[in-house]
Amino acid sequence: MTDTAILMPAPMPAAVIDALDRRFALHRLWEQPDAGAFLADHGAAIRGLAANTLAGRVDAALFDRLPALEIVANFGVGYDNIDARAAADRGIMVTNTPGVLDAEVADLTIGLLLATIRRLPQADRYVREGRWPHAPFPLSPTLRGRTIGILGLGAIGKQIARRLEGFDVRLAYHGRSRQADVAYDYHDTPVALATACDVLIAIVPGGGGTRHLIDADVLRALGANGVLVNVARGSVVDEPALIEALQSGTILAAGLDVYADEPSVPDALLALPNVVLLPHLGSASEHTRAAMGQLVVDNLTSWFGGHGPLTPVPETA
Ligand code: GLV
């Protein structure tokens, strides 16, 4: 163990805490009775930060309190919880956990898509409520004949598309630019993609650049047979506009893993029969969370061993 001080603002899996405890002087901020007082007393010694979405905003205001901070290792591929530009301005490295969760999130997306279209949670409730002996479950919509638009064809988007190739559906995408090595149809705006599709899967990064990319216009373009699946960030969708579109039949259904203000889910969504709601499960298997945790530990270990970051985010690479 070294005396290098690492701050963990919010709990992470026990294996990560144990591994960091063995290597560094780990400070568990959530166990402190007064976090502000702890930062005032010890902030100047902190050289590494192990962050996750529970940690709150990791931004200039926090960096001001941690003048010796060298690296923020984020538990998660999305790092919209971190102001990476403010970090870059101060020469602070930011790392995330790409790659190790792509397949898991893609699997979950396929499950959520099928659950939403074939109404699997509703059917499960139907059996449990003892309704089957009285009448068959109503026929569902279908995936057959659909065109699926992927909003954000990055590493995870590509794994989703690869899985969907086995489902005999047409595929299209929108992203910042057309990708030369991709055969799916490219559309240069979200509205154009939604117009061409009857399923829209959101898997873009969160943050200011993608806020409300899916708004009332996109939902109107998706149309009355349209299904939205959001496995990106809640901020990507204008949630009130989505609720209105689901209530009015502007779109058919939605499968949501993420929300504007997690972990609270609006009552209006809970009341809707045509939504499937998951509690942000994209990467949430034991296998994949362990791999993500290991990458957090490995990034910090590599950095403080003088070998640089393993998976730096582009802003600080
Ligand atoms: C999960 O949402 C992640 O960004 O890893």
Instruction: Please name each of the domains of the chain with its CATH number.
Output: 5-98+287-316 (3.40.50.720), 102-277 (3.40.50.720)
Identify the band that residue 1 occupies on the pLDDT scale cut at 50, 70 and 90. Answer: low
Residue 283 alpha carbon to ligand 1 centre in Å: 7
> Is the Cβ atom of 214 under 6 angstroms away from ligand 1?
no
pLDDT value, residue 292? 98
**pLDDT tens readout for residues 23-81:** 999 999 999 999 999 999 999 999 999 999 988 999 999 999 999 999 999 999 999 99
**pLDDT tens readout for residues 184-210:** 999 999 999 999 999 999 999 999 999
Pick the residue whose CA is nearest to atom 3 on ligand 1: 76
Mean of pLDDT values over 108-120: 98
Identify the band that residue 114 occupies on the pLDDT scale cut at 50, 70 and 90. Answer: very high
> Is the Cβ atom of 96 under 6 angstroms away from ligand 1?
no
Q: Give which of 101, 91, 29 is closest to 296, Cα–Cα.
A: 101
Residue 12 alpha carbon to ligand 1 centre in Å: 14
Identify the band that residue 2 occupies on the pLDDT scale cut at 50, 70 and 90. Answer: confident
Calculate what percentage of the chain has a pLDDT beyond 70. Answer: 100
pLDDT beyond 90 at 140: yes
Ligand 1 atom with least separation from CA of 233: 2
> Is the Cβ atom of 206 under 6 angstroms away from ligand 1?
no
Q: Check if the beta carbon of residue 128 is closer than 8 Å to that of residue 157.
A: no
Residue 262 appears among annotated catalytic residues: yes
**pLDDT tens readout for residues 215-256:** 999 999 999 999 999 999 999 999 999 999 999 999 999 999
Residue 233 appears among annotated catalytic residues: yes
Mean of pLDDT values over 144-148: 98
Residue 85 appears among annotated catalytic residues: no
> Is the Cβ atom of 77 under 6 angstroms away from ligand 1?
yes
pLDDT beyond 70 at 158: yes
Q: Check if the beta carbon of residue 46 is closer than 8 Å to that of residue 9.
A: no
**pLDDT tens readout for residues 259-287:** 999 999 999 999 999 999 999 999 999 99
Helix (H), strand (E) counts: the chain: 12, 12
pLDDT value, residue 37? 97
> Is the Cβ atom of 101 under 6 angstroms away from ligand 1?
yes
Angle at alpha carbon of residue 180, lines to 176 and 181, rounded to 5°: 115
What average pLDDT is seen over the chain?
97
pLDDT value, residue 182? 96
Which phi and psi (to 5°) does residue 163 adopt?
-65, -40
Which phi and psi (to 5°) does residue 18 adopt?
-60, -45
Calculate what percentage of the chain has a pLDDT beyond 90. Answer: 98
What's the pTM?
0.96
pLDDT value, residue 115? 98
